[in-house]
Amino acid sequence: MSSIGNQLKITIFGESHGPAIGVTMDGLPGGQPLDFDAVLVQMARRAPGDGRYGTYRKEADYPEIISGVKDGVTTGFPLCAMIQNTNAHSNDYKNLRRVPRPSHADYTAFVKYHGAADMAGGGHFSGRLTAPLVFAGAVCRQMLERQGIIIGAHVRSLYNIEDDPFDPVQPDTTLLNTLNKQPFAVCNDTAKQNMYDLIATCRKELDSVGGIVELAAVGLPAGLGGPLFAGLEGKLSQYLFGIPAVRGVSFGTGFAATRMHGSEHNDSFTVQDGRVVTVTNHCGGIQGGITNGMPLILQVAFKPTSSISREQQSVNLDTMQPETLVIKGRHDPCIVPRAVVCVESAVAVCLTDLLLQNGLIQ
Protein backbone atom coordinates (compact mmCIF):
# COMPACT_ATOMS: atom_id res chain seq x y z
CA MET A 1 0.00 0.00 0.00
CA SER A 2 1.20 3.50 -0.77
CA SER A 3 -1.08 5.05 1.88
CA ILE A 4 -0.37 5.66 5.55
CA GLY A 5 -1.90 7.49 8.50
CA ASN A 6 -4.90 7.56 10.81
CA GLN A 7 -6.19 11.10 11.29
CA LEU A 8 -4.02 12.39 8.44
CA LYS A 9 -3.90 9.85 5.64
CA ILE A 10 -1.46 10.41 2.79
CA THR A 11 -1.45 8.48 -0.48
CA ILE A 12 1.51 8.71 -2.85
CA PHE A 13 0.92 7.91 -6.53
CA GLY A 14 2.72 7.72 -9.85
CA GLU A 15 5.76 6.19 -11.49
CA SER A 16 9.19 7.66 -12.12
CA HIS A 17 8.75 7.80 -15.90
CA GLY A 18 4.96 8.21 -16.11
CA PRO A 19 3.33 11.59 -16.79
CA ALA A 20 3.34 12.71 -13.14
CA ILE A 21 3.72 11.73 -9.51
CA GLY A 22 1.90 13.20 -6.52
CA VAL A 23 0.28 12.95 -3.14
CA THR A 24 -3.19 13.25 -1.64
CA MET A 25 -3.41 14.38 1.97
CA ASP A 26 -6.75 13.59 3.57
CA GLY A 27 -7.68 14.73 7.07
CA LEU A 28 -5.92 18.10 7.20
CA PRO A 29 -7.83 20.63 9.27
CA GLY A 30 -9.27 23.63 7.43
CA GLY A 31 -7.88 27.12 7.99
CA GLN A 32 -4.16 26.26 8.14
CA PRO A 33 -2.09 28.90 6.29
CA LEU A 34 0.27 27.41 3.69
CA ASP A 35 3.45 29.26 2.75
CA PHE A 36 4.06 27.95 -0.77
CA ASP A 37 7.56 29.48 -1.02
CA ALA A 38 8.58 27.55 2.10
CA VAL A 39 7.26 24.37 0.41
CA LEU A 40 9.45 25.10 -2.63
CA VAL A 41 12.54 25.45 -0.39
CA GLN A 42 11.95 21.89 0.84
CA MET A 43 11.27 20.53 -2.66
CA ALA A 44 14.55 22.05 -3.88
CA ARG A 45 16.51 20.26 -1.14
CA ARG A 46 15.42 16.86 -2.50
CA ALA A 47 15.62 17.81 -6.19
CA PRO A 48 18.68 16.53 -8.09
CA GLY A 49 20.78 19.66 -7.43
CA ASP A 50 23.94 20.70 -9.23
CA GLY A 51 25.36 17.24 -9.92
CA ARG A 52 28.16 17.62 -7.32
CA TYR A 53 26.57 14.96 -5.13
CA GLY A 54 23.33 13.91 -6.86
CA THR A 55 22.06 12.48 -10.11
CA TYR A 56 22.32 14.44 -13.35
CA ARG A 57 18.58 13.97 -13.90
CA LYS A 58 17.24 17.54 -13.96
CA GLU A 59 13.68 18.00 -12.71
CA ALA A 60 11.98 21.19 -11.54
CA ASP A 61 9.92 19.21 -8.99
CA TYR A 62 7.28 21.93 -8.99
CA PRO A 63 4.19 20.83 -7.07
CA GLU A 64 0.92 21.87 -8.67
CA ILE A 65 -1.85 22.06 -6.06
CA ILE A 66 -4.99 20.56 -7.57
CA SER A 67 -7.30 20.79 -4.54
CA GLY A 68 -7.49 21.48 -0.82
CA VAL A 69 -5.98 24.99 -0.68
CA LYS A 70 -7.80 28.24 -1.37
CA ASP A 71 -6.36 31.74 -0.95
CA GLY A 72 -3.26 30.26 0.70
CA VAL A 73 -5.21 28.40 3.39
CA THR A 74 -6.15 24.70 3.67
CA THR A 75 -9.84 24.08 3.06
CA GLY A 76 -10.10 20.89 5.14
CA PHE A 77 -10.80 18.76 2.05
CA PRO A 78 -8.27 16.41 0.43
CA LEU A 79 -5.17 18.31 -0.61
CA CYS A 80 -3.80 16.88 -3.85
CA ALA A 81 -0.46 17.99 -5.31
CA MET A 82 0.94 16.80 -8.64
CA ILE A 83 4.52 16.99 -9.89
CA GLN A 84 5.10 16.51 -13.62
CA ASN A 85 7.87 14.18 -14.80
CA THR A 86 9.57 16.34 -17.37
CA ASN A 87 12.95 14.64 -17.76
CA ALA A 88 12.21 10.92 -18.19
CA HIS A 89 14.53 8.87 -20.43
CA SER A 90 12.73 5.52 -20.50
CA ASN A 91 15.07 4.08 -23.18
CA ASP A 92 17.86 4.00 -20.58
CA TYR A 93 15.89 1.28 -18.78
CA LYS A 94 14.93 -0.99 -21.70
CA ASN A 95 17.56 -3.63 -20.92
CA LEU A 96 16.33 -3.85 -17.29
CA ARG A 97 12.89 -5.20 -18.24
CA ARG A 98 14.22 -8.75 -18.40
CA VAL A 99 17.57 -8.38 -16.62
CA PRO A 100 16.96 -7.12 -13.06
CA ARG A 101 19.38 -4.75 -11.36
CA PRO A 102 21.09 -6.36 -8.37
CA SER A 103 19.68 -4.98 -5.10
CA HIS A 104 17.04 -2.79 -6.74
CA ALA A 105 13.31 -3.65 -6.76
CA ASP A 106 13.26 -4.90 -10.38
CA TYR A 107 13.18 -8.62 -9.58
CA THR A 108 10.77 -8.50 -6.63
CA ALA A 109 8.38 -6.21 -8.55
CA PHE A 110 8.59 -8.56 -11.56
CA VAL A 111 7.56 -11.50 -9.37
CA LYS A 112 4.85 -9.67 -7.43
CA TYR A 113 3.22 -7.80 -10.32
CA HIS A 114 3.63 -10.57 -12.93
CA GLY A 115 5.91 -8.39 -15.10
CA ALA A 116 3.20 -5.71 -15.42
CA ALA A 117 4.80 -2.94 -13.31
CA ASP A 118 6.19 0.02 -15.26
CA MET A 119 9.69 -0.20 -13.81
CA ALA A 120 11.38 2.44 -16.02
CA GLY A 121 13.52 4.51 -13.67
CA GLY A 122 12.48 2.23 -10.80
CA GLY A 123 8.76 2.91 -11.42
CA HIS A 124 6.78 3.30 -8.20
CA PHE A 125 9.87 2.17 -6.24
CA SER A 126 12.00 5.05 -7.49
CA GLY A 127 13.61 7.53 -5.12
CA ARG A 128 11.66 10.08 -7.16
CA LEU A 129 8.54 9.04 -5.25
CA THR A 130 10.02 10.82 -2.24
CA ALA A 131 9.21 14.17 -3.93
CA PRO A 132 5.49 13.87 -2.99
CA LEU A 133 6.54 12.80 0.53
CA VAL A 134 8.66 15.95 0.81
CA PHE A 135 5.67 18.03 -0.33
CA ALA A 136 3.49 16.44 2.39
CA GLY A 137 6.27 16.97 4.93
CA ALA A 138 6.61 20.63 3.94
CA VAL A 139 2.89 21.19 4.58
CA CYS A 140 3.06 19.36 7.92
CA ARG A 141 6.21 21.03 9.22
CA GLN A 142 4.51 24.43 8.90
CA MET A 143 1.71 23.22 11.19
CA LEU A 144 4.25 21.73 13.61
CA GLU A 145 6.29 24.95 13.69
CA ARG A 146 3.17 26.83 14.77
CA GLN A 147 3.05 24.40 17.73
CA GLY A 148 6.70 25.19 18.53
CA ILE A 149 8.00 21.89 17.12
CA ILE A 150 11.21 22.16 15.06
CA ILE A 151 12.63 19.29 13.03
CA GLY A 152 16.15 19.25 11.57
CA ALA A 153 18.50 16.56 10.28
CA HIS A 154 21.98 16.18 8.83
CA VAL A 155 24.27 13.65 7.18
CA ARG A 156 25.69 12.13 10.37
CA SER A 157 28.04 9.90 8.42
CA LEU A 158 28.79 9.09 4.83
CA TYR A 159 30.66 5.80 4.39
CA ASN A 160 33.50 6.35 6.96
CA ILE A 161 33.32 10.17 7.16
CA GLU A 162 31.64 11.45 10.33
CA ASP A 163 29.88 14.76 10.97
CA ASP A 164 29.57 16.26 14.50
CA PRO A 165 26.60 14.65 16.27
CA PHE A 166 23.68 16.67 17.66
CA ASP A 167 23.62 17.46 21.37
CA PRO A 168 20.90 14.94 22.35
CA VAL A 169 19.81 16.86 25.47
CA GLN A 170 19.66 20.33 23.96
CA PRO A 171 20.00 20.34 20.19
CA ASP A 172 20.83 23.85 18.96
CA THR A 173 17.55 25.11 17.45
CA THR A 174 19.35 27.78 15.39
CA LEU A 175 21.47 25.02 13.87
CA LEU A 176 18.38 22.86 13.22
CA ASN A 177 16.65 25.79 11.51
CA THR A 178 19.72 26.36 9.32
CA LEU A 179 20.20 22.69 8.43
CA ASN A 180 16.52 22.20 7.62
CA LYS A 181 16.77 24.62 4.70
CA GLN A 182 20.08 23.37 3.25
CA PRO A 183 20.40 21.08 0.22
CA PHE A 184 23.43 19.25 1.71
CA ALA A 185 23.00 19.48 5.49
CA VAL A 186 26.25 18.84 7.36
CA CYS A 187 27.32 20.63 10.60
CA ASN A 188 31.10 20.46 10.14
CA ASP A 189 32.50 22.17 7.00
CA THR A 190 35.60 19.94 6.81
CA ALA A 191 33.45 16.82 7.02
CA LYS A 192 31.22 18.25 4.29
CA GLN A 193 34.16 18.86 1.94
CA ASN A 194 35.45 15.32 2.60
CA MET A 195 31.99 14.00 1.76
CA TYR A 196 31.93 15.94 -1.53
CA ASP A 197 35.37 14.51 -2.39
CA LEU A 198 34.33 10.95 -1.57
CA ILE A 199 31.21 11.22 -3.72
CA ALA A 200 33.29 12.58 -6.61
CA THR A 201 35.68 9.61 -6.28
CA CYS A 202 32.75 7.18 -6.24
CA ARG A 203 31.35 8.75 -9.38
CA LYS A 204 34.73 8.34 -11.13
CA GLU A 205 35.04 4.74 -9.96
CA LEU A 206 31.47 3.94 -11.10
CA ASP A 207 30.57 3.00 -7.54
CA SER A 208 28.34 4.24 -4.71
CA VAL A 209 28.25 4.71 -0.91
CA GLY A 210 25.60 4.97 1.80
CA GLY A 211 25.45 6.61 5.19
CA ILE A 212 23.44 7.67 8.22
CA VAL A 213 21.02 10.59 8.66
CA GLU A 214 20.53 11.89 12.20
CA LEU A 215 17.36 13.79 13.08
CA ALA A 216 16.32 15.89 16.07
CA ALA A 217 12.83 17.17 16.81
CA VAL A 218 12.42 19.64 19.67
CA GLY A 219 9.28 20.99 21.30
CA LEU A 220 7.28 17.74 21.40
CA PRO A 221 4.97 17.44 24.40
CA ALA A 222 5.34 14.46 26.76
CA GLY A 223 2.68 11.76 26.43
CA LEU A 224 2.46 11.16 22.65
CA GLY A 225 2.41 7.53 21.51
CA GLY A 226 1.32 4.37 23.28
CA PRO A 227 2.32 0.94 24.49
CA LEU A 228 3.14 -2.20 22.51
CA PHE A 229 2.05 -1.85 18.86
CA ALA A 230 1.05 1.80 19.32
CA GLY A 231 4.63 2.69 20.28
CA LEU A 232 6.03 5.81 18.67
CA GLU A 233 9.22 4.02 17.59
CA GLY A 234 7.13 1.57 15.55
CA LYS A 235 4.95 4.29 14.06
CA LEU A 236 7.91 6.46 13.06
CA SER A 237 9.75 3.44 11.66
CA GLN A 238 6.83 2.56 9.40
CA TYR A 239 7.00 6.02 7.82
CA LEU A 240 10.80 5.97 7.64
CA PHE A 241 11.02 2.51 6.05
CA GLY A 242 8.69 3.88 3.36
CA ILE A 243 11.72 5.81 2.06
CA PRO A 244 13.52 3.67 -0.54
CA ALA A 245 17.02 2.45 0.43
CA VAL A 246 16.47 2.71 4.22
CA ARG A 247 18.14 -0.23 5.97
CA GLY A 248 17.72 0.66 9.62
CA VAL A 249 16.23 3.06 12.14
CA SER A 250 17.52 3.58 15.67
CA PHE A 251 16.53 5.88 18.51
CA GLY A 252 18.78 7.84 20.88
CA THR A 253 21.97 5.92 21.59
CA GLY A 254 20.56 3.08 19.47
CA PHE A 255 22.56 -0.13 19.10
CA ALA A 256 25.46 1.42 21.06
CA ALA A 257 23.25 0.95 24.17
CA THR A 258 24.11 -2.75 23.96
CA ARG A 259 27.70 -1.87 24.90
CA MET A 260 26.72 0.23 27.94
CA HIS A 261 25.79 -0.62 31.52
CA GLY A 262 22.39 0.40 32.88
CA SER A 263 24.18 2.84 35.16
CA GLU A 264 25.57 4.65 32.09
CA HIS A 265 22.52 4.34 29.86
CA ASN A 266 19.76 5.30 32.31
CA ASP A 267 18.51 8.86 31.84
CA SER A 268 18.30 10.35 35.38
CA PHE A 269 15.34 12.60 36.08
CA THR A 270 15.59 16.13 37.42
CA VAL A 271 13.33 19.20 37.58
CA GLN A 272 14.10 22.26 35.45
CA ASP A 273 11.84 25.35 35.48
CA GLY A 274 9.10 23.26 37.14
CA ARG A 275 9.29 20.60 34.41
CA VAL A 276 10.50 16.99 34.68
CA VAL A 277 13.47 16.53 32.35
CA THR A 278 16.26 13.98 32.01
CA VAL A 279 19.95 14.78 32.48
CA THR A 280 21.00 12.61 29.53
CA ASN A 281 18.89 11.49 26.56
CA HIS A 282 20.06 7.99 25.62
CA CYS A 283 16.45 6.96 24.95
CA GLY A 284 16.05 9.66 22.27
CA GLY A 285 12.93 11.15 23.86
CA ILE A 286 10.79 7.97 23.84
CA GLN A 287 10.18 5.63 26.76
CA GLY A 288 7.60 2.86 26.67
CA GLY A 289 6.65 3.98 23.16
CA ILE A 290 5.60 7.40 24.57
CA THR A 291 7.37 10.78 24.31
CA ASN A 292 8.88 12.02 27.58
CA GLY A 293 9.15 15.67 26.48
CA MET A 294 12.89 15.49 25.73
CA PRO A 295 14.12 15.99 22.14
CA LEU A 296 13.32 13.15 19.76
CA ILE A 297 16.63 11.85 18.41
CA LEU A 298 16.79 9.17 15.73
CA GLN A 299 19.17 7.83 13.09
CA VAL A 300 18.30 6.35 9.71
CA ALA A 301 20.74 4.12 7.81
CA PHE A 302 20.83 4.24 4.00
CA LYS A 303 22.48 1.60 1.83
CA PRO A 304 24.81 2.49 -1.06
CA THR A 305 22.84 3.26 -4.24
CA SER A 306 22.21 -0.04 -5.99
CA SER A 307 22.37 1.30 -9.58
CA ILE A 308 26.10 1.50 -10.24
CA SER A 309 27.59 1.75 -13.71
CA ARG A 310 30.11 -1.08 -13.26
CA GLU A 311 29.49 -4.39 -14.95
CA GLN A 312 27.40 -6.62 -12.67
CA GLN A 313 26.20 -10.19 -12.70
CA SER A 314 22.46 -10.75 -13.18
CA VAL A 315 20.15 -13.19 -14.99
CA ASN A 316 17.91 -12.93 -18.03
CA LEU A 317 14.38 -13.72 -16.84
CA ASP A 318 13.32 -14.82 -20.37
CA THR A 319 16.16 -17.23 -21.04
CA MET A 320 16.94 -18.00 -17.37
CA GLN A 321 20.63 -17.68 -18.28
CA PRO A 322 23.27 -15.58 -16.50
CA GLU A 323 23.77 -12.18 -18.10
CA THR A 324 26.24 -9.37 -17.52
CA LEU A 325 24.47 -6.09 -16.84
CA VAL A 326 25.64 -2.53 -17.50
CA ILE A 327 23.21 0.03 -16.07
CA LYS A 328 22.61 3.18 -18.09
CA GLY A 329 20.63 6.18 -16.84
CA ARG A 330 21.43 8.88 -14.33
CA HIS A 331 22.00 7.64 -10.81
CA ASP A 332 23.17 9.17 -7.56
CA PRO A 333 26.56 7.80 -6.46
CA CYS A 334 25.21 8.67 -2.99
CA ILE A 335 21.60 9.43 -2.13
CA VAL A 336 22.22 10.34 1.53
CA PRO A 337 22.46 14.16 1.11
CA ARG A 338 19.09 14.21 -0.71
CA ALA A 339 17.61 11.75 1.77
CA VAL A 340 17.99 14.18 4.71
CA VAL A 341 14.87 16.13 3.75
CA CYS A 342 13.03 12.84 3.09
CA VAL A 343 13.73 11.75 6.69
CA GLU A 344 12.59 15.12 8.08
CA SER A 345 9.43 14.92 5.93
CA ALA A 346 8.50 11.36 6.98
CA VAL A 347 8.87 12.38 10.64
CA ALA A 348 6.87 15.61 10.10
CA VAL A 349 3.95 13.72 8.52
CA CYS A 350 3.99 11.05 11.25
CA LEU A 351 4.08 13.59 14.10
CA THR A 352 1.32 15.67 12.51
CA ASP A 353 -0.89 12.57 12.34
CA LEU A 354 -0.19 11.96 16.01
CA LEU A 355 -0.84 15.55 17.08
CA LEU A 356 -4.10 15.61 15.11
CA GLN A 357 -5.14 12.33 16.77
CA ASN A 358 -4.45 13.89 20.16
CA GLY A 359 -6.42 17.06 19.31
CA LEU A 360 -3.25 19.16 19.60
CA ILE A 361 -3.74 20.67 16.13
CA GLN A 362 -7.30 21.69 15.23
Ligand X SMILES: Cc1cc2nc3c(=O)[nH]c(=O)nc-3n(C[C@H](O)[C@H](O)[C@H](O)COP(=O)(O)O)c2cc1C
Q: Which residues of this protein are in contact with ligand X, per CB under 6 A?
A: 55, 104-105, 122, 125-127, 130, 243-245, 303, 305-307, 331-332, 335, 338-339, 342
Q: How far apart are CA 232 and CA 226, in angstroms?
A: 7
159: left (phi over 0), alpha (psi -120 to 50) or beta: left
Q: What distance separates the 2 farthest-apart alpha carbons in the chain?
A: 71
Q: What is the H or E stretch that residue 60 is in?
A: none
Which residue, 32 or 307, has its beta carbon nearer to ligand X?
307
DSSP 74-102: E-SSPEEEEEE-----GGGGGGGTTSPPT
Which residue, 294 or 348, has its beta carbon nearer to ligand X?
348
Judged by DSSP in three states, 194 sits in helix
- Residues shown for the chain: 362
- CB 332 → ligand X: shortest distance, Å? 4
**Phi and psi at residue 233, to the nearest 5°:** -60, -45
Q: How far apart are CA 251 and CA 254, in angstroms?
A: 5
Q: How far apart are CA 109 and CA 116, in angstroms?
A: 9
- CB 48 → ligand X: shortest distance, Å? 9
- CB 114 → ligand X: shortest distance, Å? 19
- CB 132 → ligand X: shortest distance, Å? 12
Which residue, 171 or 242, has its beta carbon nearer to ligand X?
242
- CB 272 → ligand X: shortest distance, Å? 38
- CB 301 → ligand X: shortest distance, Å? 11
Which residue, 291 or 305, has its beta carbon nearer to ligand X?
305
Q: How far apart are CA 84 and CA 92, in angstroms?
A: 19
- By the 8 A CB rule, do 323 and 95 touch? no
- By the 8 A CB rule, do 153 and 165 touch? no
Which residue, 184 or 281, has its beta carbon nearer to ligand X?
184
How many Å is the Cα radius of gyration of the chain?
Answer: 21
Which residue, 32 or 126, has its beta carbon nearer to ligand X?
126
- By the 8 A CB rule, do 24 and 78 touch? yes
- CB 265 → ligand X: shortest distance, Å? 30
Residue 50's Cβ-side half-sphere holds a number of Cα atoms within 13 Å equal to 5
Which residue, 24 or 126, has its beta carbon nearer to ligand X?
126
Which residue, 300 or 356, has its beta carbon nearer to ligand X?
300
- CB 47 → ligand X: shortest distance, Å? 10
Q: How far apart are CA 38 and CA 148, in angstroms?
A: 17
Q: Which residue number has the CB closest to ligand X?
A: 127
Which residue, 138 or 356, has its beta carbon nearer to ligand X?
138
- By the 8 A CB rule, do 16 and 312 touch? no
Crossing angle between the packed helical segments 130-146 and 36-46, to the nearest 10 degrees: 140
- CB 345 → ligand X: shortest distance, Å? 11
- Strands 63-67 and 3-4, how do they pair? unpaired
